[in-house]
Structure 1
Amino acid sequence: MSARRTELSRRGFLTGSLLVAAGTVFTTACSTDPTGSSAKGAKTTLNVWYHAYGEAGTQQAVLRYATAFTKANPDIAVKVTWVPGDYSGKLNATLLTDSAPDVFEIGDFSEAMVRRGQLAALDDVYGAAKSEFNANAIDSVTVDGKPYGVKMIDDVIMLYYRKSVLAKAGIAPPTTFDALATAAKALTTKKNKGLFVGNDGMGDSASNAVWSSGGELVTPDGKVAFGTPQALEAITALKRLHDDKSLLLGFTTDWWDPAAFTQGVVPMQWCGLWAMPAIQAALGDDFGVLPWPAFKAGGTPVVRVGGWTSCVNAKSKKTEAAKKFVKWLWVEQSALQQDFAESYGFHVPPRTSVAASAKKLSSGTAKETVALSAKHGKHNPATWDTAVSSTFNAAATKIAAGDGDPAELLADAVKKAQSEIDKQLGR
């Protein structure tokens, strides 16, 4: 359920709006911008947006949650809007209109939305429970000391590998980038490739390269940080994977889907914890998980932490009811939070107390993944919007392809990215 993969075709072709009131679900005509009146007896109707999760049962789950909320708060009806396709694009456009949702989820948190006055501060929503959320869940949604969202799930993304395939080839699970590149080349055959990071051959590898070299993408005060010599060396090293022709490109599904891994097309794949149930069903215990390896010995291994955050529209006329819904569901209802994290793919509950009681994450490879996340987890900066990330990834793609001078390409990306961040922050 990572933010990035919602822009891809993995999502079900589900659409529509559903109105929940007094424990009953009403469906309206299929639309990403539905209309409808409040249910009988309710003084307020909240429009709550979700992107169209691909995991089976998720839509039904959020409807159950809305039903339970309305039962506990009969004066507030909840209209659940299920948004397919380019969720971020549709959300950003709708937030500029009178049809904007009252409550909505976002993937990677955006500080720019706070600066534009689109997100309400949620200090009062957390209350004393704030200390129960992991540091990443709080830090990633905080601007100028105030939280502007409540993390719903942490999506952990790491490197899967086939134990039997690597063992047969006499290859140890890689702990440095050099070992990863060597393994990927050695495991590449006429029929198979050694590694899958994305159909574009990049995926998260460029940002992983920066982090694994000990660097950062952007500093907390909004200064671009990916232009260091160490970052340049690590990004340039990605060219080796392309030169060796060890990367799987153009598969039928992208990195977020484990099919290439479970079908034996690759023995190593960058993918998420959400895919683990499907991998277990296909391969049993013949797989392991690793962080993206440190660029060099003594470097920094990387586990990407994404996920989804519930936010309240600051311009809504129903902010108090909206905050009540967010607090009820994502702060007070630990059983529902656990259900959302465990029952539709695997995800890590941001509340440490809920995570501790998540049975499916308490043993085996899932438990190992949670530990890797706690130790090596990295989340994108709040200023890492599409304009900034696209500039960085375009430069990294050219560097990996050998298309231009690496230092010049990265320096140009730093200037462009800094300009975009300065616009975000009004500097």
Structure 2
Amino acid sequence: MSARRTELSRRGFLTGSLLVAAGTVLTSACSTDPTGASGSGAKTTLNVWYHAYGETGTQQAALRYATAFTKAHPDIAVKVTWVPGDYAGKLNATLLTDAAPDVFEIGDFNESLARRGQIAALDDVYGTAKTDFNSNAIDSVTVDGKLYGIKMIDDVMMLYYRKSTLAKAGITPPTSYDGLVAAAKALTTGKGKGLFVGNDGLGDTAILAVWSNGGELVSREGKVAFGSPQALEALTGLKRLHDDGSLLLGFTTDWWDPAALTQGVVPMQWCGLWAMPAVKSALGDDFGVIPWPAFKAGGSPAVRVGGWTSCVNAKSKKLDAAKKFAQWLWIQQADLQKDFAESYGFHVPPRRSVAATTKALSEGTAKETVTLADRYGKHNPGTWDTAVSSAFNAAAVKIAAGDGDAAGLLAQAVKKAQGEIDKQRG
């Protein structure tokens, strides 16, 4: 369910919309203007959008949840709309029209939706449950002190390593960036490289470098922060991995797929919790997980936490009903939240109480991952859109390759990114 993996499962049974009213599916697939809600007794029909999850069963689960909601609220019908392809593009375009959904999900949270008045504040929806959500889940949807979404699932990203390979080489799992560089170099042989972070040799490492040296990407006040001395020092440090020739480049799949690790191409790979079932199936217990290590003393290890968030259209004519649906599903129904996180892929429920009772996360490396996320989890800023991240990554690629003056490249990226953020904030 990662935001990077939105391909439609070929085993999914429909595309388009289905209307659920009084607990019954009333319309057929691909309907764009379903009718029949009035005959069911429903006074209100909500349009709820999901991106086309690749995991088998997710679409059926969304319909099952809608059915359960309408049984509890027979005056509210729910149209589940499954959106394949460019979900973000279609959503942003539709939000400008009268056909905009009442409730919808987004990947990495974008605070400009709140600043443009497109999503509603949901503080009243949370109630006392707010304290049960992990700090990342709350912080990531907070804009000017108000909550503008409800985190549905956490996708945790961390370093996997092959226990037997490291042990054979006399290497302990690295706890510092120096240790990671040394391990990657030592594990690089004529048969393969020591570390895979992405086909471009960068992946998430640039943002991880900044975080691991005590830096930030963008401040809560909207000021670009990745031009700090700490950020420059850590980004420059990435060049060591490239100079050593330790990184696997141009593999058949990218970092989000665990194939490089499971096929024995590399002994260390940056990947996500969603890949753990496949890793365990291939390697048994011969793997462990660690955070991206602290750049130096005084820094902090880091894991990235992404995922999906439920939002309510602030301009919906059915705002109260839309809030009721979001509250019912993502605040009140712990069993459904658990089902969504562990039955269709492998993810962490953002609510601590739900995560604690999720069996699949209760032991071994999965439990370690939950602990790492709670202790070291960081999320991309709400201002981290394509334009801002592209400016940062373009500089980071050149810095890691030693292509130009690092300080100058970073200063240019800061200027460009700040201009984009100023546009976002009006």
Asked if TM exceeds 0.5, the reply is: yes
Instruction: Write the distance in 1 (CA, Å) between the matches of 2:49 and 2:257.
Output: 24
Aligned-residue offset at 1:21: 2.4
Aligned-residue offset at 1:420: 1.2
Aligned-residue offset at 1:227: 0.6
5+ residue gaps in structure 2?
none
User: Is residue 311 of structure 2 the alignment partner of residue 291 of structure 1?
Assistant: no
1:47 match: secondary structure: strand
Aligned to 1:221: 221
The residue type paired with residue 37 of structure 1 is T
Aligned-residue offset at 1:20: 2.1
Aligned to 1:155: 155
Aligned to 1:379: 379
Aligned to 2:130: 130
The residue type paired with residue 277 of structure 1 is P
In the alignment, is the contact (CA less than 8 A) between 2:27 and 2:34 conserved in 1? Answer: no
Aligned CA RMSD, in angstroms, stands at 1.7
CA displacement, residues 92-133 of structure 1 (integer Å, 9 cap, x when unaligned): 111112221111111111111111110011122112222222
Aligned-residue offset at 1:252: 2.5
In the alignment, is the contact (CA less than 8 A) between 1:310 and 1:326 conserved in 2? Answer: yes
1:304 match: secondary structure: strand
CA displacement, residues 115-159 of structure 1 (integer Å, 9 cap, x when unaligned): 111001112211222222222211211112211111111111100
Aligned to 1:89: 89
Change (3 A) 1:12 1:246: farther
1:12 paired residue among 2, 5, 9: 9
Question: In terms of mean alpha carbon deviation, does 373-382 or 187-196 score higher?
Answer: 187-196
Change (3 A) 1:38 1:401: farther
CA displacement, residues 233-255 of structure 1 (integer Å, 9 cap, x when unaligned): 21122122223232222222221
Aligned to 2:193: 193
Aligned to 2:423: 423
2:25 match: secondary structure: strand
Aligned-residue offset at 1:191: 3.6
Instruction: Write the distance in 2 (CA, Å) between the matches of 1:400 and 1:92.
Output: 34
Question: In terms of mean alpha carbon deviation, does 383-392 or 40-49 score higher?
Answer: 40-49
Aligned to 2:346: 346
In the alignment, is the contact (CA less than 8 A) between 1:338 and 1:349 conserved in 2? Answer: yes
Aligned to 1:62: 62
1:224 match: secondary structure: coil
Aligned-residue offset at 1:18: 2.5
In the alignment, is the contact (CA less than 8 A) between 1:46 and 1:102 conserved in 2? Answer: yes
Change (3 A) 1:166 1:37: same
1:220 match: secondary structure: coil
Count of aligned pairs: 421
Alignment of 1:170-181 (within 5 A): 170-181=170-181
In the alignment, is the contact (CA less than 8 A) between 1:203 and 1:255 conserved in 2? Answer: yes
The residue type paired with residue 147 of structure 2 is P
In the alignment, is the contact (CA less than 8 A) between 1:6 and 1:87 conserved in 2? Answer: no
Aligned to 1:116: 116
Instruction: Write the distance in 2 (CA, Å) between the matches of 1:236 and 1:196.
Output: 19
Change (3 A) 1:392 1:24: same
The residue type paired with residue 184 of structure 2 is A
CA displacement, residues 391-413 of structure 1 (integer Å, 9 cap, x when unaligned): 11111112112222111110001
1:242 match: secondary structure: helix
In the alignment, is the contact (CA less than 8 A) between 2:239 and 2:400 conserved in 1? Answer: yes
User: Is residue 263 of structure 2 the alignment partner of residue 263 of structure 1?
Assistant: yes
Aligned-residue offset at 1:390: 1.2
Change (3 A) 1:45 1:38: farther
Change (3 A) 1:25 1:189: farther
5+ residue gaps in structure 1?
none
Instruction: Write the distance in 2 (CA, Å) between the matches of 1:139 and 1:346.
Output: 22
Q: TM-score, normalised by structure 2?
A: 0.94
Change (3 A) 1:117 1:297: same
The residue type paired with residue 220 of structure 1 is R
In the alignment, is the contact (CA less than 8 A) between 1:6 and 1:86 conserved in 2? Answer: no
In the alignment, is the contact (CA less than 8 A) between 1:38 and 1:77 conserved in 2? Answer: no
In the alignment, is the contact (CA less than 8 A) between 1:273 and 1:345 conserved in 2? Answer: no
Aligned-residue offset at 1:38: 4.6
Aligned to 2:306: 306
Question: In terms of mean alpha carbon deviation, does 375-384 or 182-191 score higher?
Answer: 182-191
CA displacement, residues 39-92 of structure 1 (integer Å, 9 cap, x when unaligned): 331222211111122222222211211111112112222121222222212211
Aligned to 2:244: 244
Aligned-residue offset at 1:29: 4.7
Instruction: Write the distance in 1 (CA, Å) between the matches of 2:2 and 2:122.
Output: 23
Aligned-residue offset at 1:271: 1.0
In the alignment, is the contact (CA less than 8 A) between 2:137 and 2:350 conserved in 1? Answer: yes
User: Is residue 386 of structure 2 the alignment partner of residue 362 of structure 1?
Assistant: no
Instruction: Write the distance in 1 (CA, Å) between the matches of 2:75 and 2:260.
Output: 49
